[in-house]
Structures are given as structure tokens and as C-alpha cells.
Amino acid sequence: MASPKIFGIVLAGGEGKRLMPLTADRAKPAVPFGGGYRLIDFALSNLINSGLRQIVVLTQYKSHSLDRHVSQTWRLSGLLDAYVASVPAQQRLGKRWFSGSADAILQSLNLLRDEKPDIVVVVGADHVYRMDFSQMIDAHIESGLGLTVAAIRQPIALANQFGVIELDANDPNRIAAFHEKPEKPVGLADSPGEVLASMGNYVFDADVLIDAVIRDGERSDSNHDMGGDIVPDFVSRGLAGVYDLNRNNVPGSTDRDRFYWRDVGTIESFFDAHQDLISALPVFNLYNREWPIFSQQLNSPPAKFVRDARGYLGTMIDSIVSLGSLLSGAHIERSVLGPWTVVESGAMVVDSVVFERARIMPNAVVRKAILDKEVVVEAGASVGVDHDADRARGFTVTETGITVVGKGVIVS
């Protein structure tokens, strides 16, 4: 029997309001992450490592930098019709934009009709994780169901942050109900302190996906959302299965990071995900060579650490420093520095995330902050030290005390 033809769809049209101001000038999947990556690189790396070779990225909101990143970074050879293609909203069904993730697929059905796949893998573009989708595809085929939803175990106390899956009492691989952010969740039978949360990743039989989005498009009472409308429709018809990430075995993973998954849709989760990268034994390991996370390889020199005019080399503790960066007599601690970052004599960067081409000048202090690209912190200035002063300067300060400075701002 011939192997089924698999097609990948990455949903990358989201606006990302909760990540403002990082999404003021870019789509959420294009937000830099971990120094040299963009958020979309994790979804695409997982699909490519899983063996998918025909993948489209559906884009819409402020997509220029995202489209450019996909075209420059994700160029496959073209052999055997392999490609990763960015597909903007085409308005094929009228003069309107995507009204939801299901509508994005509905307006892009020409892609499925052209390729005629047997199975479609649909994933989000703003989660940090590793996953071998080939194992989920095998489980989906074995189930005989039209839809399989990827799920991860989360503490029951966090259930109100996720779409929570209730399992069928007679078949633990089938979904009995789907609850969006429940206030009174019920724990799993084998682990009462946990629930199964949807990861926003799905495997469909192609024909039933096409039928589902067409029917959804005809409904006036639908938000045209994959998680909010399409999945509940399959559940109501008894056609939805679940794939517990605990079943997934990614090559090179460790007990510490095997089941790591984080939705980085808020400033707090984005910041915390960076903190997960920097310890000696990281919660999420970027250095797994058996399942690499791919991204654009910048034509940049190595990072450089030099003594300042006082002869002081500076210190770097539990941090990531990207290509092209230059550090001179500065103190860097528990931070992630993007490409071509300059940190000068006597400056201090602690518990922070710094995007590319930022400059922290002599004796400046950056503490518990996120600096977008090309931000300049002038000599002696500070960010994240006095939250009232940060707010007065127009910077975003979260409830947990993270200061965010937008692209190209000069901090004096």
C-alpha cells in the first residue's frame, strides 16, 4: 500500500495583541525568540523533522517580515515537489480578510484541491516545543477517526487558561467533550491533579477537513475558529480523537525537556520561556542535535568578549549571547542577547531579553526587561529599575513587573 500523502498548514495570521508592543510592527509568528530564532521556526522545524515536505504558511497581519523570513530561511530544494510557501490572504471568497483560523483554511482550499493530500496536519505558529508529528499521524490513521487533537498534560490549577479535553470513559483515545477554559475542571482518571490541554495542533483526513470548513463557513453563529468551532463539531459527532504528548518520543530529548510545550502568547509567558533556555540544564534544550530547530543563518562573526579601558573583562552568568554581539566590561546575568547586540563598559543586563542590534551604553542598567530591535539605552540610563519612570516614558510594564521597550526607542 502506498504511503499517504501528507500536507502541512501553519496558521500564522494572528495579530498577537497580548504581545504588544512586540507585535506593533510584525506578525506574532515573526517575533524573535531565543536569540537567533523566530517563533514560527519551532512549528516549521517540527514539521520538517517529522518528514513533511509540502507545507504552507497562511499569513495575514503585518506579514512582511514573516513572509521574508519564510522565503529566505525555509527554501527547500524543490526536488520531489518539496516546499515551504508563505500564502497571504487571497480574498478568493470575496473582498474580506480571514475571520478566523477555520476561515483561513476555507479561503485557502485551492491549496488542498491542487495537492490532493490524504492527510492534513494543521499547527499553530506561536508555540515553543518539540514534537514528532509522524508518530501522531500513525496514531491518527490507526484510530480511523476524522480528527486527532494533540494534547499535553497540565496542572488542573491552570485549566482555565486552555481548551481542556474530556476523555471518553470507554475509549481513552476518543474525545467525549471539549471545554474552553473551564472554571471547574475534572482531573484525569490516571492523574487527578492534571488535565489534558489542547496544543492547537491537529491531524485531519483531508476530505473531512474540507467538508468541515465548508459547513462552518455557512454558519452565521460561528466564530470560524479551529479550536472554538471545528473541534467541538467533530466532538459532537463522535469523530474526534486525542493524542497525548506523553506518547511522543523525540530523538535526543531528555527527561527534563521531553514534554516541554509553552504557549508564548503573552509577555509573561514569552519572558518565562526565555528563562527556560538559560540554565546549565535547561528546561527546553536548544542544543538537541538529533532534532534541531532551524532558522536563518546570519552572515555574522562570532560573539566577542573584550576588556574595557579599565582592563575589566566583565562577567556573563547563565546567559545566551548571539552571533555578532560585542560585550566590553559589562555584567550579563540570566539574559538572552540577540544578534549584533552591543553592551558597553560598566553596563548591567539582568533577567532580560534583548533583540537584535540593541545597544546598551556605559553604566546603563537593564533589569527584567524586553528590548525590541535597535533599542538604545544611553549611558547611565536605566530600564526596569523604576516602573513609575518606565510608565511615564510610555513603556509597557506588566503586572509581574516586566518592562517592554518597543522597536528603535532611545532610552535616556
List binding-site positions.
Answer: 163, 180-181, 198
Binding site listing for alpha-D-glucose 1-phosphate: 163, 180-181, 198
Could you tell me which residues are beta bridge partners of residue 121? 8, 203
Task: Provide the residue type at 111 as one letter.
Answer: L
C-alpha cell at 340: 549584533
Beta strands per DSSP E along 71-188: 83-88, 119-124, 127-129, 147-155, 163-168, 171-180
Whole-angstrom CA distances from 412 to 33, 112, 332, 359 are 26, 53, 20, 12
Place of cell 511522543: 248
How do beta strands 369-371 and 353-354 pair? parallel
Torsion angle in degrees (nearest 10) through CA of 47, 53, 57, 63: 100
Sequence-separated contacts (24+) of 275-278 with Cβ below 8 Å: 275/334, 275/351, 277/34, 277/320, 277/336, 278/318, 278/319, 278/320, 278/334, 278/335, 278/336
What is the separation of C-alpha 265 from the centre of its chain, rounded to a whole number of angstroms? 8
**Cis upstream peptide for 182 (omega within 30°):** no
What does the alpha-carbon distance between residue 85 and residue 299 come to, in Å, rounded to a whole number?
A: 23
